[in-house]
Structure 1
Amino acid sequence: MSYLKPPEFVAKMIDAGEAKVFMSARDTVLRAYMAGAILALAAAFAVTITVETGQPLVGALLFPVGFCMLYLLGFDLLTGVFTLVPLAWIDRRPGVRLRSVLRNWALVFLGNFAGALTVALMMAVIVTFAFTVDPNAVGQKLGAIGESRTLGYAAHGAAGMLTLFIRGVLCNWMVSTGVVAAMISTSVSGMVIGMWMPILVFFYMGFEHSVVNMFLFPSGLMLHGKFSIADYFIWNEIPTVLGNLVGGITFVGLTLYATHARTGAARNRPTRQNTNMRTKVTV
């Protein structure tokens, strides 16, 4: 059977979190770099499809190819480690400390950002012929995304910040569900199907993913988007990271852990004799 039952895949989640805690800094950063770069390429791919077809659904349908590739290659996204790594600490695995969890998050953030920034620069070169002409339609779209998802939130003040945060929460609820869904199956096809669906939901719904935004916004700045670096961090990246953290650990990691790794006491089943007595009384 290629399907794992919930207690089995939750155990895999905890084991995966523990393994990431003890990974060397070199491997953590390298795997995060490649994850950020591949996801950025997938985002560029999806934006290109959306611009050329005029159908956002088509771009969303195909975007998960990047997520599937990076997962199957064993690379790490910040959204995934937000969900998995704390479980090893909560489960009191030997040697896992809060500082080691924070260390992993910091290294993965840096690696993801470096990878996404690399692709952002490459895409900016492609859509401007090495900055010798104005951005093409894809480049203009990237700039517009940066403006609408920074200044657009800022225009609404506190309500915009709350909206941004909630979109970050919902994003990693879906993305981490995709990570977990890949652990449900032991076959590649099962993993891909499990990952594809929730990633499609998050991308089409326009939820905020911290690593995707590490590509979209720097590329937008390079392509003359009318927003600043401060706008990007204050009105997108920082609230998105916090929302992704809350969404992943609260709605995926802790809920699965609480009900499948640390289950509550089961209610006593009625004995056959008690059942018969109730039946007689009822009659």
Structure 2
Amino acid sequence: MDIEPIEKVARAGVSKAALMVNDLPRYILRCVLAGLYLSIVVLVYWCLIENLHGSPFGKVLASAFFGVGLSVIVFTQSELFTSNNMYLAVSSAGGRTLWRQAWWLWGICWVGNLIGALLLCVLLVGAGVLAELPASHALHAGALHKAHQGALAIFSKGILANWVVCLAVWVAMRVKEDLTRIVVMILVVFIFLYLGFEHSIANMGTFSMSMLGQGTLTLGDAVFNLLFSTLGNIVGGAVFVGLAYQFLEAPKASDTASRATVTEAAGEPQGPLIRQTR
């Protein structure tokens, strides 16, 4: 019998929390890898925007390519902050993980993704790639545009971005064939890129590359965007997808699938989570 997506998401949330509690270094490495993977795709996206700016299909092709990043992260089981907003919201709302574990996991994953983005930028600086991008490059113009929006606009676009990203992951769970899953993720993720929504982890790569290259973006501007896009991403993934489908599908899933718990997977947490992750 096929497992309902809500059950798959809940079990994944349990597994992620258990890995964080029991083997923090390996969990952090998975977060760093996700930051690396997504940031290299971000660079390709901006280069496509720059090189195809004269084509009416330039933004279409660049936006379609971006879904490759999410596909790589899903298939390599790396840890992406934005999709984890959905996973841990479902498992915590269902009582299988603790909400304090969700917040710790989101914080650790966000920092790990940032480390991955910065590590890629260091490698690009060493390779001379960023120095070759002129100050007029689409990467730098895009970074400034993202950072110079109002807080409400960034927050709202953050909600929309992660709503779409988590929907891509959710819909991909409905299909069995790997190729179909990849196509589904690419097509759905296309929506948020083409419409210019704000994905905090993708922005980490954009901002880091611009500041370490020939861009004029300031650290303050980058932090401003990341603050409100991160908050929006949490709402988009945790509330608009995670909690919404937990409410809609959990009763049906509970009748057809057995429940996994952190107690079963990792042992009952004792005391504050921070004491388990040192």
- TM-score (norm: length of structure 2): 0.82
Using the TM superposition, give the Cα deviation of residue 138 of structure 1 relative to its aligned residue in structure 2, in angstroms.
8.5
Q: Partner residue of 1:111? A: 112
Deviations 1:132-189 (A, max 9, x none): xxx4348832222222211x21xxxxxx111111000000000001111221122202
2:182 aligned partner, one-letter code: V
Could you tell me how far apart the structure 2 residues matched to 1:90 and 1:210 are?
24
Using the TM superposition, give the Cα deviation of residue 51 of structure 1 relative to its aligned residue in structure 2, in angstroms.
1.1
Larger RCO: 1 or 2 (CA < 8 Å, sep 6+)? 2
Secondary structure, in 3 states, of the residue corresponding to 2:217?
coil
Could you tell me how far apart the structure 1 residues matched to 2:9 and 2:136 are?
39
Deviations 1:48-92 (A, max 9, x none): 112112211111111111211111111111001111112111111
2:105 aligned partner, one-letter code: N
Secondary structure, in 3 states, of the residue corresponding to 1:32?
helix
Matched, 1:21 2:17: yes
- Aligned-residue sequence identity (percent) comes to 25
Matched, 1:215 2:205: yes
Change (3 A) 1:138 1:120: farther
Could you tell me how far apart the structure 2 residues matched to 1:29 and 1:226 are?
31
Q: Partner residue of 1:44? A: 43
Larger Rg belongs to:
1
1:143 aligned partner, one-letter code: H
Contact 1:146 1:216 in 2 (8 A): yes
Could you tell me how far apart the structure 1 residues matched to 2:204 and 2:103 are?
20
Which of 222, 227, 230 is the aligned partner of 2:220?
230
Q: Partner residue of 1:260? A: 249
Matched, 1:76 2:79: yes
Q: Partner residue of 1:239? A: 228
RMSD: 2.0
Secondary structure, in 3 states, of the residue corresponding to 1:22?
helix
Alignment of 1:263-278 (within 5 A): none
Using the TM superposition, give the Cα deviation of residue 127 of structure 1 relative to its aligned residue in structure 2, in angstroms.
5.2
Secondary structure, in 3 states, of the residue corresponding to 2:215?
coil
Change (3 A) 1:15 1:231: same
Could you tell me how far apart the structure 2 residues matched to 1:77 and 1:56 are?
24
Alignment of 1:57-206 (within 5 A): 57-93=60-96, 96-126=97-127, 131=131, 135-137=132-134, 140-150=137-147, 152-153=148-149, 160-206=150-196
Could you tell me how far apart the structure 1 residues matched to 2:202 and 2:125 are?
16
Unaligned runs of 5+ in 1: 154-159, 264-283
Change (3 A) 1:187 1:139: farther
Could you tell me how far apart the structure 2 residues matched to 1:121 and 1:57 are?
29
Change (3 A) 1:15 1:146: same
Using the TM superposition, give the Cα deviation of residue 214 of structure 1 relative to its aligned residue in structure 2, in angstroms.
0.8
Using the TM superposition, give the Cα deviation of residue 31 of structure 1 relative to its aligned residue in structure 2, in angstroms.
0.9
Could you tell me how far apart the structure 2 residues matched to 1:262 and 1:138 are?
54
Could you tell me how far apart the structure 2 residues matched to 1:52 and 1:127 are?
19
Using the TM superposition, give the Cα deviation of residue 15 of structure 1 relative to its aligned residue in structure 2, in angstroms.
0.7
Unaligned runs of 5+ in 2: 253-278
Matched, 1:10 2:11: no
Secondary structure, in 3 states, of the residue corresponding to 1:206?
coil
Contact 2:60 2:194 in 1 (8 A): yes
Contact 1:174 1:198 in 2 (8 A): yes
2:114 aligned partner, one-letter code: F
Could you tell me how far apart the structure 1 residues matched to 2:136 and 2:113 are?
22
